[in-house]
Chain A
Amino acid sequence: MSQHTLQQTPVRNGRDRQVGFARLVAFEVRKLVDTRSSLAIFAVLAVIAVALVVGLAVVGSGQGTPVTFASLAGSIGLFTALAMPLIGILGMTSDTAYRTTLVYYPLLRGRTAQFWAKVLAAAVLALALQVFVFLLSAVVAAALAGAVAGPGAAGAFDGVGQELATGLASCVLSTMFGVALAAAIRRTALAIVAVILVSLVGNGLILTLLPDASGYFSTITALGALIGGPDAPTALEVASSLTLWYLIPLGIGWWITEKSEA
Chain B
Amino acid sequence: MGLASEAVSGISFAGVTKAYAGRNVVDSVSFDCPRGSITGFLGPNGAGKSTTLRVAAGLTRADAGEVLFNGHRRQDLENPGRTIGFVLDPTALHPGRSLQETLKLNAMLLGAPRSAVENALSVAGLESVRRKRVGSLSLGMRQRLVLGMALLTGPQFLVMDEPTNGLDADGALWVRNFLKHFSAQGGTVLLSSHLLRDMQAVADHIVMIDRGRIVATGTAAEFSVSSRTKAAVVEPERLTEVCRTRGWGFDLSGREFLVDATPEDIGRACLEYGVVLTHLSNITESALEEKFLALTSGEFSSRNNTLEQIR
**A, B co-complexed:** yes
Q: Does B154 contact A (CB under 8 A)?
A: yes
Tell me if B58 and A105 are in contact (CB < 8 A).
yes
With a cutoff of 8 Å between Cβ atoms, the chain A residues found around residue B156 in the complex are 11-13
Tell me if B78 and A18 are in contact (CB < 8 A).
yes
Tell me if B181 and A6 are in contact (CB < 8 A).
yes
For window 19-53 of A, CB contacts with B under 8 Å fall at: 19, 23-24, 26-27, 30-31, 34-38
Q: Does A5 contact B (CB under 8 A)?
A: yes
In this complex, how many residues of chain A approach chain B with their Cβ under 8 Å: the count is: 44
Q: Report how far A13 CA is from B89 CA in the complex, Å.
A: 26
Tell me if B125 and A102 are in contact (CB < 8 A).
no
With a cutoff of 8 Å between Cβ atoms, the chain A residues found around residue B89 in the complex are 99, 102
Q: How far is the CB of B12 from chain A (nearest CB, A)?
A: 17
Which residues in B have some Cβ–Cβ distance to A below 8 Å? 2-3, 54, 57-61, 74-84, 86, 88-89, 91-97, 101, 105-106, 108-111, 119, 122-125, 133, 144, 146, 149, 151, 153-156, 170-171, 174-175, 177-178, 181-182, 185-187
With a cutoff of 8 Å between Cβ atoms, the chain A residues found around residue B124 in the complex are 1
With a cutoff of 8 Å between Cβ atoms, the chain B residues found around residue A106 in the complex are 57-59, 74, 80-81, 84, 86, 88
- Which single member of A9, A11, A109 contacts B80 (CB below 8 Å)? A109
Tell me if A107 and B109 are in contact (CB < 8 A).
yes
List the A residue with the shortest CB-CB distance to B109.
A27
Q: Report how far A20 CA is from B89 CA in the complex, Å.
A: 26
With a cutoff of 8 Å between Cβ atoms, the chain B residues found around residue A100 in the complex are 92-94
For window 105-125 of A, CB contacts with B under 8 Å fall at: 105-110
Q: How far is the CB of A104 from chain B (nearest CB, A)?
A: 7
Q: Report how far A41 CA is from B88 CA in the complex, Å.
A: 31
Tell me if B123 and A9 are in contact (CB < 8 A).
yes
Tell me if A98 and B95 are in contact (CB < 8 A).
yes
Beyond A10-B154, A17-B111, whether A103 also contacts B58 by CB under 8 A is no
List the A residue with the shortest CB-CB distance to B56.
A106
Tell me if B110 and A107 are in contact (CB < 8 A).
yes
Q: Report how far A99 CA is from B109 CA in the complex, Å.
A: 18
- Beyond A13-B156, A103-B88, A103-B149, 5 additional contacts (C-beta under 8 Å) are A9-B119, A19-B110, A26-B108, A27-B108, A103-B106
Tell me if B154 and A11 are in contact (CB < 8 A).
yes
Q: Does A16 contact B (CB under 8 A)?
A: yes
Tell me if A30 and B108 are in contact (CB < 8 A).
yes
